[in-house]
């Protein structure tokens, strides 16, 4: 496993990290989730990402128990705040940030997180209020650094322009061969300002693993067949895209990688990426995905892959 510096922080994070969206405490049984977590540590993953809203706190509670016996300085822990926890608790107001960090720390059974992230931008709260509250969380020792997820470039710049507040060290965008929007504005802006990317859905909800084959029903046990985990994958299961993914397999073979490893290595080709977050329901998936770290792939193979996917996505 290779490691990269997270933005301007002093955190060194594994190139592959373990997430818990739709999985731990939600769609994956506790025993399987714990095996995945243990395997992640075995292969050198040191970065664990979660959020208060995942399973309405269930993912954080699972991690609080599963990590209890590990030295706190042996892993980097990140969580997030914004989405509704119930009818009365949501957003990035000062009151919510201060309440939700305490609730998250209680569930995680720790006195601090290494990274506290604004899960989305809050149009209902002044940015200055949000940034000063996040800064106070750091000043209180409850988080070491702050980040954001899916903020537009103008809001990122506005936060960077503020004085007397903590500076973001991370951005968490959706980014993959099938979703390249951050390349336009977010990645260049962040790269110029000491902010690294922590990528979510780097395998396109599993489509880039090749498990979903054209003309066939989704395999049993896959995310697409699990009603607790398939809310976001439907739009990805288009026949032209699945055909395009099939065409990537010879390229992955030429690189000496599995298709998942090839797709993750494509993510890690970008220097501004600190880590790609994987979601795994089986230890074998963790082991395979971790194999992408440090992979050296000829640029022309990536260029061919980009062209194949672009063509597949253009067909409606």
Catalytic residue annotation = 54
CA distance 160 to 173: 18
Burial 194-223 (b: 16+ CB within 10 A, else e): bbbbbbbbbbbbbbbbbbbeeeeebeeebb
β-partners of residue 278 are: 18
Decide: 280 and 250 in contact? Cβ < 8 Å: no
Task: Give 207's contacts (C-beta < 8 A, 6+ positions apart).
Answer: 178, 233, 236, 237, 241, 242, 245
Find out whether 94 and 133 touch, Cβ atoms under 8 Å. Answer: yes
Q: 283-290 and 30-42 are packed helices; what angle lies between their axes, rounded to 10 degrees?
A: 30
Residue 164: exposed, middle, or buried by beta-carbon count in 10 A (0-12, 13-18, 19+)? exposed
């Amino acid at each position: 496993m290779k490691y990269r510096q997270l933005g301007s922080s002093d955190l060194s994070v594994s190139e592959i990290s373990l997430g818990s969206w739709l999985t731990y405490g939600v769609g994956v049984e506790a025993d399987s989730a714990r095996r995945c977590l243990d395997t992640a540590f075995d292969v050198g993953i040191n970065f664990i990402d979660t959020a208060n809203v995942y399973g309405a706190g269930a993912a954080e509670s699972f991690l609080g128990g599963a990590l209890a016996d590990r030295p706190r300085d042996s892993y980097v822990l990140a969580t997030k705040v914004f989405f509704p926890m119930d009818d009365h608790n949501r957003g990035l107001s000062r009151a919510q940030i201060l309440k939700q960090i305490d609730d998250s720390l209680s569930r995680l059974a720790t006195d601090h997180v290494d990274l506290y992230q604004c899960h989305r931008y809050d149009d209902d709260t002044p940015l200055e209020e949000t940034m000063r509250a996040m800064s106070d969380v750091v000043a209180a020792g409850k988080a070491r650094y702050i980040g954001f997820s899916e903020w537009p470039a103008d809001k990122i710049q506005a936060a960077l322009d503020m004085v007397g507040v903590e500076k973001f060290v991370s951005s968490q965008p959706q980014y993959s061969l099938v979703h390249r929007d951050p390349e336009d504005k977010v990645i260049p802006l962040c790269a110029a300002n000491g902010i690294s990317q922590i990528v979510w859905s780097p395998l396109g909800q599993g489509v880039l693993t090749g498990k979903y084959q054209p003309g066939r029903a989704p395999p049993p046990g896959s995310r697409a067949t699990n009603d607790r985990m398939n809310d976001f994958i439907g739009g990805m299961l288009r026949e032209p895209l699945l055909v395009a993914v099939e065409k990537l397999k010879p390229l992955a073979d030429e690189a000496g990688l599995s298709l998942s490893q090839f797709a993750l290595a494509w993510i890690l080709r970008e220097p501004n990426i600190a880590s790609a977050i994987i979601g795994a329901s089986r230890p074998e998936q963790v082991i395979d995905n971790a194999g992408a770290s440090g992979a050296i792939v000829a640029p022309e193979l990536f260029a061919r892959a980009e062209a194949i996917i672009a063509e597949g996505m253009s067909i409606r």
